[in-house]
Amino acid sequence: MKPLLMRHSAFAVFALCAAFPLHFLSQQAPTASIEGIVTKLGTTEPIPGAVAELSQPGPRPGAPAEAVKVTTGDDGKFAFRNLQPGQYRLVATRAGGIYNPAQYGQRDPRSPGTPLTLSAGQAMKDVRLEMAATGAISGRVYDRNGEPVPYARVLAMQDWYHEGNRLLDFVQAVQTNDLGEYRLFWLPPGRYYVGARPEDIESAGTTTFVNTPDRVGLYFEEVSTIPPLKRTIVDNEVVTETYQLTFYGGQTDPLKAQPVEVRPGMTVPGIDLPLAAGTVRARAIQGTVFDDATGQPARGAYVSALPRIFMANRVAPNATADANGKFTIRGLTSEAYNLHFRTGTGNIFGFQPIDAGTADVENIALVAKPGVPINGKISFEGRPLTDNDPDLPRLQVQIVQDPGIPGVPTPAPATPAGDGSFTVQNVGPLGWDFEIYVRGALPTGAYVKSIKLGTQDVMNSKFYPEPGDSQRGGLHVDGPVDRPLEIVLGIGTGTIDGVAVDEKQQPAPYRTIVLLPDIPLRHRFDLHRTATSDTLGKFRLQNITPGSYKIFAFDRIAAGAWEDATFMQGYDGGGRSVRVLENSKENVELRVIP
Amino acid sequence: MRCLRIVLMFFAVPILVAQNPEPASVQGLAVIAGSDDPVSRAVIELRRIGDGAAEPLLAATQSNGTFLFRAVPAGRYTLVATRNGYLPAESGQRSSGSPGVPIVIAAGQQVTGIRVAMTPTAAISGRILDRGGQAMPGVAVQLLKPLFQEGRRTMVVMKSMLTNDLGEYRIFWVPPDSYYVNVIPPPDTPAGGGTPLVLSPFGQPTGRSLWSNQSNIAVSPVGNGLPETEAYLPIFFPGTADENAATLVELQPGADVRGIDIHVAPFRASRIRGLVLNGTSRQPMPGIGVQLISIGPNPRTLQTTSDAMGRYAIPKVPVGPYVLASLAQQAGMGRLMPVEVRDTDMEANIELQPFYTVSGRIVAPNPTAFSVRLRLDYGISNAPQFNVAPAADGSFTLRTVPAGEYRLYVNPILLPQVPTPPNAPQALANAYVKAMRMGDTDLLNGRLHVDGQPESRIEITVATDSGSLSGRVLDKRQSPVSAVNVVLLPDVDRRLLRTDLYKTAITDETGRFLMEGLPPGDYRVFSWENVAVRAWQDPAFMRAYEEQGRAVHITGGARQTVELTSIP
């Protein structure tokens, strides 16, 4: 009964707020205050010199937050006074990287915080922000003879999910010294994968990439300088070798890498990396680029070999074709690549898959072709057709390569005319896959209802045939497209309000709420919605495209893990089905999955 | 039958040699320089001279240091040995870094006894600690060498490394030499919100792209946590901000010097503030960029922009000498003024003065082949400079010159020597600047002082009758000395300002050398068997050798010949 009562009272507060305009409250209401302390995680030890930052979202979405900062004294305490009622975020940081930032409403050092709500005149006391000390990983990198490898780039990587695939991004990159030693530091507590790859000594410089612990976002890097070619001596013979990223445990497959657990304030020593498994003979690709328009060799064409498997640190060897269109790329590993090429103007391009293997590839002919135009029409469902709908020219239709190709321009977005017609020019390279986006000034509650190429559904269809590849809607363009692309927009997204409760039916604050479309459309990652329950266990999910969904409340879950179909198999029973209709407002009570 | 076979074989052999001469071979040994200890697992590269495109021949040294190339086509070759932890070594080198001597291989020749002396590199390590003895992470530690540039002593970063979270650094593969060790503490201002901290003393190198999916972040990353009244300065070992009090650390070949710890304490810092004023109307000028550039071997720049009231303020300025600069190009005004920041906050109004116009004429066969450059003569890197291309008649006008001290240059034949002399194109190989004057002032051997509208014009005369110097270097036993540096320096009076007149050459296998395109005048010529690169730019070094040089007078259009005795 209790949760139900709370929900009622919550509604009452909401109604009250709605009744008084916000500016009235902010002008007349007595001010609020927050007092608290910053301590070391799991102790009462205060942290002096920490900066507590209280911020409010900016006036417009995407605008920078307005923030007030105070620095803690020896007692670790902080106070904010004369605050207007409203929603705030509270974060504590400390210069120097030895502490992980703490956010209000966090359940552990890596989980997201929640906003706090101050009512008029409220004096919030005894707020505690606990900062975890960062940790370190150290070890040695050595070659197949047991000799130290200097100038190897060592990366600390973490899991992330991209459209259902588990990938690794990197948090930090350091270099080994002449003794092969490395030390990764300022690592927020968590689970890491450590990998190393030697770099070309001439071009390596000394770049250390240290993310401060407060970083948000995913990072990966692409090295397009000279690949790390190394002449070494094997059986008294000099051979040219290059390297794949080799993980702790001696694997080159990121999915088989052995994790390293870093606890607050601890150094994990002895994470030694033998590079033998990732040391491979360098192979070369030699060929000619032709321009399809002239049939002639493409002088000065740019050719780049991108590894097909995504890595936090990938090396993309490249070359520029000579006057006869001929090129040679050296330093490829035995991995599979996509060879991307474009002529000097950049608008005539192509790609060629290169299989995994060890032998050099010779006399390959690459034909660069211009992209093709795609015509289409966009409309609002149920809205009478006219020649000058004022909303349509405020939209933009984008057709972008999926995945994106570094260095290859994405086709320019098209602005529909008043009758909804549009043309996206130069969609290429041919043979690639594309995603379709509708952007711009969408009316409130608008969503994409369908995208069809002629009669073919290119929004919900699954075109990836190979297992393991992500499955989702999209457009495959092999040549001229003679059918129109028809985009229909609906109006009336739905909202879900809810409360997360634990096994004792008590409100469960700070839990991760995930809304996933039902299985046939699970690959539509654009339909996924997430939130964190607040101090009262409540949450709200908005802008939901009408349809059938499952909703989950997780106690702890790695960000994006819900996109992984294999991971979700074990949890599908723990979700609740919700059907969202146009403009509907659903209410749910969710049991937290332990 | 057997008899017949033998006869046939005898016939066959000479025919083979005549058609396809037996290929040559090269055999040798890699040793640690100054010893007979072998270097194993070194990669030896044999590269044919004048055939840069071809892949070099490669061999590896055995455990006894020996290497062997078979099937070497005849030709002239360079032989270079490399191995982790050693400086690259070339056969015939007198010392590491000095030129090697080519190996000439005749068809069928069995070349033996090639010896390459490899110098082991050194390593230096230690910890960087703050005044409380706490580790300073993420600070750059640099090894510096003094260098003389335009008559000023500067420091050049040779190697650099960052400390880890324990404040530890280790700089390795260092060429043996003496170095200053310098610490660059973390910047005062944190990187902007959401920017990951790329800790690289050289910035993000080209060819490495960093991709990220987002950059929204609620908090600012690392600063150094110092209060307003303190700031860090670069600190030299053993713990001084004064470069003159810095101690050189000597790194012997193969040395692993540990425990070079440096304590970094912040310095008293002040605020410098004031108004940016139009010097003519005395009105405040809003939105004008103000730069404060420190004078010294590692110049730092602090910058701001004047506000709506024309005020500017730069906080946390460590004490020391600076140039306060403000150039308002659109308003046609500017000012550069030296300031000494002391340990109290200071007021400095910047009164912008109108830019002056400096005009002149270049007298040369083809004036448009040149451009005229005025460069501000402060001891700061990237000093502001103003370039102009002369008209066909040689006349030129620079319209936006702020008051200050300048050096005048003529591109491409008279340029600052930073860090190595630029090469003029072949067509101008014999051209040199004979004279540069403004009224009575000699601008070739002096500076241009601008503090008002100049009354006279600059006259630049380019001549093409340069001279040359050829000669031979012999040792004390009168044997020719190959692969040594020959250095030509202007006479002592001009040596500080006229670094453009410094010329170097390397003797060939017969000890001969040739220098061309020399402006006429008095010089001294030196030849050292062993000398650190550019050591001759240091007046202190030169004092010990001045008398061992040979005075030469270069005459226009003529070749002088000298015979030199090498300095051991």
- Tokens 């969202």 belong to which residue? A580
- For chain B, the 3-state helix, strand and coil shares in percent, each to the nearest 5, are 10, 50, 45
Does residue A397 have a pLDDT over 60?
yes
Nearest-by-CA chain A residue for B136? A96
Q: Kindly provide the residue ranges of all beta strands, DSSP E only, lying in B35-118, ordered along the sequence.
A: 43-48, 57-60, 66-72, 75-82, 89-90, 103-105, 110-118
CB–CB contact A214 B217 (8 Å): yes
Query: What is the identity of the amino acid at B556?
Result: G
Range from A92-96, A316-320, B305-309 carrying the lowest mean pLDDT: A92-96
Q: Which residues between 131 and 190 in chain B have a beta carbon less than 8 angstroms from any beta carbon of chain A? A: 137-138, 160-162, 164-166, 168, 170, 172-173, 190
Q: Which residues between 76 and 135 in chain A have a beta carbon less than 8 angstroms from any beta carbon of chain B? A: 89, 91, 93-98, 101, 103, 134
Mean pLDDT, rounded, for B110-130 = 95
CB-CB contact of B461 with B408 (8 Å): no
Does A221 reach chain B within 8 Å, measured CB to CB?
yes
- Tokens 């608290």 belong to which residue? A36
Does residue B393 have a pLDDT over 90?
yes
Range from A453-467, B58-72, B458-472 carrying the lowest mean pLDDT: A453-467
How much is the CA Rg of chain B, to the nearest whole Å? 30
* A252 φψ region: left (φ > 0), alpha (ψ -120 to 50), beta (else): alpha
Mean pLDDT, rounded, for B525-549 = 87
Tell me: the pLDDT tens digits for A527-543? 889 888 888 899 999 99
Tokens standing for A494?
Answer: 């739905």
Does residue B304 have a pLDDT over 80?
yes
Q: Which chain A residues have a beta carbon less than 8 Å from that of B202?
A: 205-207
Query: What is the identity of the amino acid at A485?
Result: L
Spatial separation of the C-alpha atoms in residues B31 and B33, rounded to whole Å: 6
Does B11 reach chain A within 8 Å, measured CB to CB?
no
Does residue A15 have a pLDDT over 90?
no
Backbone phi and psi for residue B501, each to the nearest 5 degrees, phi listed first: -85, -5
CB-CB contact of A101 with A129 (8 Å): no
Tell me, what's the pLDDT at A167? Answer: 80
CB-CB contact of B38 with B30 (8 Å): yes
Most confident of A399-408, A542-551, B90-99, B158-167: A542-551
- In order of their start, the domains of chain B are 2-118 (2.60.40.1120), 122-189+226-264 (2.60.40.1120), 275-348 (2.60.40.180), 356-463 (2.60.40), 467-565 (2.60.40.10)
CB–CB contact B202 A206 (8 Å): yes
A15 sits in which H/E element:
helix A2-19
Closest partner residue to A207 (CB to CB) among B58, B84, B208 is: B208
Tell me, what's the pLDDT at B224? Answer: 60
CB–CB contact A150 B172 (8 Å): yes
Q: What is the dihedral sign for C-alpha B438, B440, B442, B448?
A: negative
What residues form DSSP beta bridges with B142? B160, B182
CB–CB contact A238 B206 (8 Å): no
CB–CB contact A217 B138 (8 Å): no
Average pLDDT, chain A: 84
Does residue A482 have a pLDDT over 60?
yes
Does B68 reach chain A within 8 Å, measured CB to CB?
no
> Exposed, middle or buried: residue B528 (CB in 10 Å: 0-12, 13-18, 19+)?
buried
Nearest-by-CA chain B residue for A208? B199
Average pLDDT, chain B: 84
How do B89-90 and B110-118 pair as beta strands? unpaired
Spatial separation of the C-alpha atoms in residues A178 and A173, rounded to whole Å: 17
Tokens standing for A190?
Answer: 């968590």
CB–CB contact A174 B214 (8 Å): no
Spatial separation of the C-alpha atoms in residues B263 and B239, rounded to whole Å: 6
CB–CB contact B224 A95 (8 Å): yes
**Nearest-CA distance A375 → chain B (Å):** 30
Spatial separation of the C-alpha atoms in residues A349 and B57, rounded to whole Å: 38
CB–CB contact A207 B223 (8 Å): no
CB–CB contact A219 B211 (8 Å): yes
Tell me: the pLDDT tens digits for A34-44? 999 999 998 99
Mean pLDDT, rounded, for A234-252 = 85
Most confident of A190-204, B112-126, B147-161, B177-191: B112-126
B9 sits in which H/E element:
helix B2-19
CB–CB contact A49 B219 (8 Å): no
Nearest to B299 by CA among B275, B276, B325: B325
Range from B88-102, B309-323, B393-407 carrying the lowest mean pLDDT: B88-102
> Exposed, middle or buried: residue B109 (CB in 10 Å: 0-12, 13-18, 19+)?
middle
Most confident of A161-165, A458-462, B59-63: B59-63
A488 sits in which H/E element:
strand A485-491
Tell me, what's the pLDDT at A423? Answer: 97
Q: Kindly provide the residue ranges of all beta strands, DSSP E only, lying in A176-292, ordered along the sequence.
A: 181-187, 190-198, 208-210, 219-223, 230-234, 237-243, 246-247, 260-262, 267-268, 273-274, 279-281, 283-291
Does A323 reach chain B within 8 Å, measured CB to CB?
no
Alpha helices in A401-485 (DSSP H): none
More confident residue, A149 or B192: A149
More confident residue, B464 or B146: B464
Tell me, what's the pLDDT at B14? Answer: 38
Tell me: the pLDDT tens digits for B412-428? 888 876 545 556 778 88
Spatial separation of the C-alpha atoms in residues A215 and A91, rounded to whole Å: 13
Q: What is the dihedral sign for C-alpha A580, A584, A589, A590?
A: positive
Backbone phi and psi for residue A15, each to the nearest 5 degrees, phi listed first: -65, -40
**CB-defined contacts A:B, below 8 A:** 159
- In order of their start, the domains of chain A are 31-131 (2.60.40.10), 135-280 (2.60.40.10), 291-307+320-365 (no CATH), 371-487 (2.60.40), 494-591 (2.60.40.10)
3-class DSSP state for residue B541? helix
Reply yes or no: is the peptide bond before residue A409 cis, omega within 30 of 0: no
Tell me: the pLDDT tens digits for A105-136? 887 777 777 888 899 999 999 999 999 999 99
The distance of Cα A161 from the centroid of its chain, to the nearest Å, equals: 7
DSSP summary character for residue A419: T
More confident residue, A395 or B151: A395
Spatial separation of the C-alpha atoms in residues A201 and B453, rounded to whole Å: 53
Q: Which chain A residues have a beta carbon less than 8 Å from that of B213?
A: 217-218
Backbone phi and psi for residue A593, each to the nearest 5 degrees, phi listed first: -80, 120
Model confidence at A481, in pLDDT bands (50, 70, 90)? very high
* B262 φψ region: left (φ > 0), alpha (ψ -120 to 50), beta (else): beta
Closest partner residue to B198 (CB to CB) among A207, A217, A224 is: A207
CB-CB contact of B199 with B162 (8 Å): yes
CB-CB contact of B517 with B429 (8 Å): yes
Range from A61-70, A293-302, A423-432, B469-478 carrying the lowest mean pLDDT: A61-70
Query: What is the identity of the amino acid at B522?
Result: D
Model confidence at A13, in pLDDT bands (50, 70, 90)? very low
Tell me, what's the pLDDT at B18? Answer: 40
Nearest-by-CA chain A residue for B82? A231
Spatial separation of the C-alpha atoms in residues A521 and A526, rounded to whole Å: 10
Range from A258-272, B225-239, B340-354 carrying the lowest mean pLDDT: B225-239
**Nearest-CA distance B270 → chain A (Å):** 22
Q: Which chain A residues have a beta carbon less than 8 Å from that of B175?
A: none
Nearest-by-CA chain A residue for B137? A96
Q: Which chain B residues have a beta carbon less than 8 Å from that of A225?
A: 205-208
Spatial separation of the C-alpha atoms in residues A244 and A236, rounded to whole Å: 23
Does A425 reach chain B within 8 Å, measured CB to CB?
no
Mean pLDDT, rounded, for B235-259 = 91
- For chain A, the 3-state helix, strand and coil shares in percent, each to the nearest 5, are 10, 50, 40
CB–CB contact B162 A177 (8 Å): no
- The ipTM is 0.73
Q: Kindly provide the residue ranges of all beta strands, DSSP E only, lying in B232-355, ordered along the sequence.
A: 235-236, 249-251, 256-257, 262-264, 267-278, 289-294, 301-305, 311-318, 320-328, 333-341, 346-347, 350-354
Model confidence at A151, in pLDDT bands (50, 70, 90)? confident
Does A53 reach chain B within 8 Å, measured CB to CB?
yes
Tell me: the pLDDT tens digits for A573-588? 889 999 999 999 999 9
Nearest to A403 by CA among A310, A317, A315, A478: A310
Spatial separation of the C-alpha atoms in residues B250 and B253, rounded to whole Å: 10
